[in-house]
Structures are given as structure tokens and as C-alpha cells.
């Protein structure tokens, strides 16, 4: 009789956690090495090392670079982005087609939107209190750098209500050609699904095609996340910390630390409390299972990139129905940018205080309103939330040169905060999904508690 037992393969969660910790250690080691080489006059050695491992090969100064970590990270991110539009289109169309009752659809949509809005308000309120306390303690009083205001990356000013108009595309091909138009894809998918639902058996051929495409997408994403994901996360995290030196973090450490701690505290408080209050389910089970999605969001810095993993986790581990999940998560990816609003509360307070403006509670309420409107139309891509800060500033009339210089500083140092806000966004999507499933009595409680 053989005593050998078949070794269980390591779970993707453990692989991702190892990749995250390893990436942090390697990234910090390279950051310290970079500082040491530059301070000792060996900047040329760092330049060579940077070109081999970290250099953005698409940049003007990356023509002669290899950029191994950059290439691996980009291939993975682009591979995920490749699936975003077809995944949203197919899964949402099939979900709409399978919901037989229009009353049920209205209930699901209503509960989803109310859930997202309430978490928006909670996040903005608590972030406003902390930001005001930190500001009042004098931690946001910094000396602004003298770099040119034009270095700031900005978006053109826009009316947040334009999001409603842009949600209905005038050209279906144009909507499908960009990951920045996901809200339009959602609208098209809902239209297709509802029309298929109304046509019944006449739409069966199209339904079978969409189901086959859905299986192909799921197989592709399973391979990409399970096999390539951990390696790519290691490269993405290592590169992030290696190329952002201490000179970017030092001037506004109070802003970064306060925002990141608040974001983390909100993740482990408002969502578990929300689940317990509304469903009476064990919130610890939820946090343990959804943690890998938060880690993935922190690593990729993109809500859109997290959609496949979030979907699988909600259905396979949390017991959510495929029907409701296919509606709630794509909707959340497009309108639930709770973490972005929290970041906006801190960033706008920091920028105004740095520019000599006294931020009042009334100002904070206005910031929250403008941020929620802007965040709902924010593309689910990296850095989008940071660029939208200028919209908030414009809405408050904080557009002086001093404000723009402070904004340029935030743009330069905001990468860690951008990474930290993603878990709040994606775990918020899953939270509302669990709540809606529970209210619709479609949550598999045995699977949730397993």
C-alpha cells in the first residue's frame, strides 16, 4: 500500500498573496538600491538596471530599453482588458434574457442602485470627518514644490450630467472599441437582453451563440488569472515601488497615510457591517473569501480588470446567483467608485489647505456631492480618479495657480492612494451583490458559509 498522498495544488489566493508580499519586498529593495546608487554617484548603474527591468518601453526614452517587468505586467493587463467588453456584453445580455419578470428586474436594479448610493454616502461622510480632523491638526500644511503647473495631467472640464447622455451610444462599434465606454456597453447589453427576453424562442439562436462565447471567455479568464496572474502581480507591484522614489512620497506623507488608512478601515468596517445589518450573514466569511479580489484590485489598479475574478468569487464561493451577479457587478464596475470619492475628499482638502484655503464642513459636503456625480461616470481604468480631481476643484471655484500646483503635487504622489482605493470599489460591488442576492432569496447560504 502506498503512503504517498497526492499533493494539493496551491490555491490562487495563496499564490496572489505570495506574489503581493514578494512584490512589495522586491520593490522596496529596488527603491532603496536606487536611492543608494543615485546618492553615491552611480546613477548610470541604476539607469541600466531600470532599462533592463522597469522602463516603460513605449515612452520616448524607452526606445533602447528591455523593460521585462513592464512587459509582463502590460501583457497581463491588456489580456484582462481584452475580455472586458465581451464579458460585460455577453453576461449582462444573458442575465437580462433570463430574468422572466420585469418586476423582478426593477427590484434588482432598484436595490443595486440604493445599495451603491448608501455606501457612497457612508464613505464620503466618514472620509470627510477624517480629512477635516487631519486638516485641523495642521498635517496638510506643506510647502508646495515649484514645478510647472502644466506638468499636471488633467481631464477637460465636463458636466457630470453628460454621463447620462453618453450612456446611450450613437455608434455601437465606437462603444465596443474602447474600455472607457463601459456604461454604453452596459446599456447596449441591457437592450439586447430585454429584446431577446421579449422575443422568446425566436431569439434562441442568438442566445446559444452568446452562451458559447461566454464559455470561451470564462475558459480564457480562468487560465489568465490562475496561471499568469500571480507572476504579473509580482511584476506590477515590484515595478510600482521601484520606480517611485522617496522624493515623491516625502512632501505629502500625511495625505497618503491618512487616505490609505481610512480606505483600509472603511473596507473592513462598512461592508461587513452592511452585510450583517441587511442579511444577518457572518461578515467574517465574506471578508475571508473576497480578500483576494481586494488584493487583485490593489495590484492591478483597475476595477475593470477585477470584474472576472470578482464574478467567479461571488458565484463560486459566496453563493450568489449568476443571473443577479451578471447584472450587479458590471453595473457596479461602471458607477460604484466609492473609493474614488473617499480619495477625492482627502485630495481636495489637501490641495485647498496647501493653497491657503480654509476648508469648511459645507465645502466638504459640496466636495462629496460633486465627487459622487463625477465618480459615477469615472472610467474603470488606472489614474482616472486622480484626473477627475480637477472637476471637483472647478466645481468649487478652486482653480488658482496655487491650487493647480498643489494638484500637480497630488498627481505626482497619488499612485499609492490610487492603488489603495481599488479594494473599496471592487469589494463594494461584491457586498451589494451579496445583499441583493439575499434580499431576492437567491443566495446559496451553504456555499456562503462553507
The Cα 243–Cα 258 span in angstroms is: 22
User: Quick one: pLDDT at residue 40?
Assistant: 86
Higher pLDDT, 228 or 265: 265
Which grid cell is 318? 459566496
Mean of all residue pLDDT scores within the chain: 80
The segment with the largest mean pLDDT, out of 14-23, 68-77, 118-127, is: 118-127
- In 3D space, the residue among 391, 295, 303, 292 whose CA is nearest the CA of residue 351 turns out to be 391
Higher pLDDT, 97 or 364: 364
Q: Which domain holds residue 313?
A: 102-172+246-449
Inside any domain, residue 8: no
Q: List, for residues 303-325, the tens digit of each pLDDT value.
A: 777 888 899 999 999 999 988 99
Inside any domain, residue 426: yes
Please, which pLDDT band fits residue 272 given cuts at 50, 70 and 90?
very high
The answer to whether residue 103 scores a pLDDT higher than 80 is: no
Assign residue 419 the CATH number of its domain. Answer: 1.10.3860.10
User: Quick one: pLDDT at residue 160?
Assistant: 55
DSSP type of residue 249: H
User: Quick one: pLDDT at residue 145?
Assistant: 46
Percent of the chain with pLDDT over 70: 84
Q: What is the pTM of this model?
A: 0.68
Inside any domain, residue 5: no
Which grid cell is 160? 457630470
Question: In angstroms, what CA-CA distances link 77 with 83, 95, 239, 383?
Answer: 10, 26, 14, 14
Higher pLDDT, 61 or 273: 273
Burial 229-246 (b: 16+ CB within 10 A, else e): bbebbbbbbbbbbbbbee
The answer to whether residue 383 scores a pLDDT higher than 50 is: yes
Residue 425: CA count within 13 A, CB half-sphere: 39
The pLDDT of 162-188, averaged and rounded, is 77
Q: Reduced to 3 states, what is the DSSP secondary structure of residue 127? A: helix
Inside any domain, residue 64: no
The Cα 33–Cα 29 span in angstroms is: 6
Inside any domain, residue 381: yes
Which grid cell is 141? 500644511
Which grid cell is 428? 463594494
The answer to whether residue 416 scores a pLDDT higher than 90 is: no
The pLDDT of 43-51, averaged and rounded, is 87
CA dihedral (423, 424, 425, 426) positive or negative: positive
Higher pLDDT, 59 or 325: 325
Q: List, for residues 177-234, the tens digit of each pLDDT value.
A: 876 666 688 788 888 888 888 888 898 899 899 889 988 887 887 788 778 888 888 8
Inside any domain, residue 225: no
Inside any domain, residue 126: yes
Inside any domain, residue 227: no
DSSP type of residue 380: S
**Residues 436, 324 contacting (CB under 8 angstroms):** yes
The answer to whether residue 398 scores a pLDDT higher than 70 is: yes
Number of H helices, E strands in the chain: 22, 0
- Return all residues near 284 (Cβ < 8 A) that are at least 6 apart: 272
Question: In angstroms, what CA-CA distances link 236 with 87, 247, 411, 440?
Answer: 24, 21, 19, 39
Q: How many domains does the chain have?
A: 1
Amino acid at each position: 500500500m502506498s503512503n504517498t498522498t497526492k499533493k494539493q495544488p496551491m490555491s490562487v489566493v495563496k499564490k496572489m498573496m505570495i506574489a503581493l508580499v514578494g512584490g512589495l519586498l522586491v520593490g522596496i529593495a529596488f527603491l532603496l538600491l536606487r536611492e543608494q546608487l543615485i546618492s553615491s554617484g552611480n546613477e548610470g548603474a541604476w539607469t541600466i538596471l531600470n532599462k533592463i527591468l522597469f522602463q516603460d518601453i513605449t515612452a520616448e526614452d524607452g526606445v533602447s530599453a528591455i523593460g521585462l517587468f513592464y512587459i509582463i505586467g502590460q501583457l497581463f493587463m491588456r489580456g484582462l482588458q481584452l475580455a472586458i467588453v465581451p464579458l460585460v456584453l455577453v453576461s449582462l445580455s444573458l442575465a437580462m434574457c433570463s430574468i422572466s419578470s420585469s418586476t423582478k428586474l426593477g427590484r434588482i436594479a432598484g436595490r443595486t442602485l440604493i445599495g451603491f448610493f448608501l455606501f457612497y454616502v457612508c464613505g464620503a461622510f466618514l472620509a470627510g470627518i477624517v480629512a477635516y480632523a487631519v486638516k485641523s491638526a495642521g498635517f496638510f500644511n506643506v510647502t508646495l514644490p515649484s514645478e510647472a503647473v502644466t506638468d499636471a495631467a488633467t481631464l477637460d472640464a465636463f458636466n457630470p450630467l453628460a454621463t447620462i447622455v453618453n450612456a446611450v451610444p450613437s455608434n455601437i462599434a465606437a462603444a465596443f472599441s474602447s474600455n472607457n465606454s463601459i456604461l454604453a456597453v452596459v446599456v447596449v447589453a441591457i437592450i439586447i437582453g430585454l429584446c431577446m427576453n421579449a422575443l422568446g424562442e425566436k431569439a434562441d439562436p442568438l442566445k446559444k451563440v452568446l452562451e458559447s462565447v461566454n464559455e470561451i471567455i470564462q475558459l480564457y479568464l480562468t487560465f489568465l488569472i490562475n496561471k499568469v496572474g500571480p507572476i504579473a502581480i509580482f511584476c506590477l507591484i515590484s515595478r510600482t515601488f521601484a520606480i517611485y522614489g522617496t522624493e515623491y512620497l516625502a512632501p505629502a506623507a500625511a495625505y497618503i497615510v491618512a487616505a490609505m488608512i481610512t480606505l483600509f478601515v472603511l473596507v473592513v468596517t462598512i461592508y461587513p457591517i452592511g452585510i450583517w445589518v441587511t442579511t444577518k450573514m457572518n461578515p467574517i466569511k465574506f471578508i475571508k473569501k473576497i480578500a483576494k479580489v481586494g488584493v487583485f484590485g490593489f495590484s492591478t489598479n483597475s476595477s475593470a480588470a477585477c470584474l472576472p475574478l470578482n464574478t467567479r468569487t461571488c458565484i463560486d464561493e459566496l453563493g450568489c446567483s449568476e443571473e443577479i451577479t451578471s447584472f450587479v457587478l458590471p453595473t457596479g464596475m461602471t458607477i460604484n467608485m466609492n473609493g474614488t470619492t473617499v480619495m477625492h475628499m482627502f485630495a481636495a482638502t489637501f490641495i485647498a489647505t496647501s493653497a491657503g484655503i480654509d476648508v469648511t464642513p459645507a465645502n466638504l459636503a459640496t466636495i462629496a456631492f460633486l465627487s459622487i456625480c463625477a465618480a459615477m461616470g469615472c472610467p474603470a481604468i488606472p489614474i482616472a480618479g486622480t484626473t477627475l480631481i480637477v472637476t471637483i476643484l472647478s466645481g468649487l471655484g478652486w482653480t488658482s495657480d496655487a491650487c493647480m500646483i498643489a494638484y500637480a503635487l497630488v498627481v505626482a504622489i497619488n499612485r499609492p492612494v490610487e492603488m489603495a482605493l481599488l479594494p473599496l470599489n471592487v469589494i463594494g460591488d461584491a457586498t451589494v451583490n451579496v445583499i441583493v442576492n439575499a434580499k431576492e432569496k437567491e443566495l446559496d447560504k451553504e456555499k456562503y458559509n462553507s
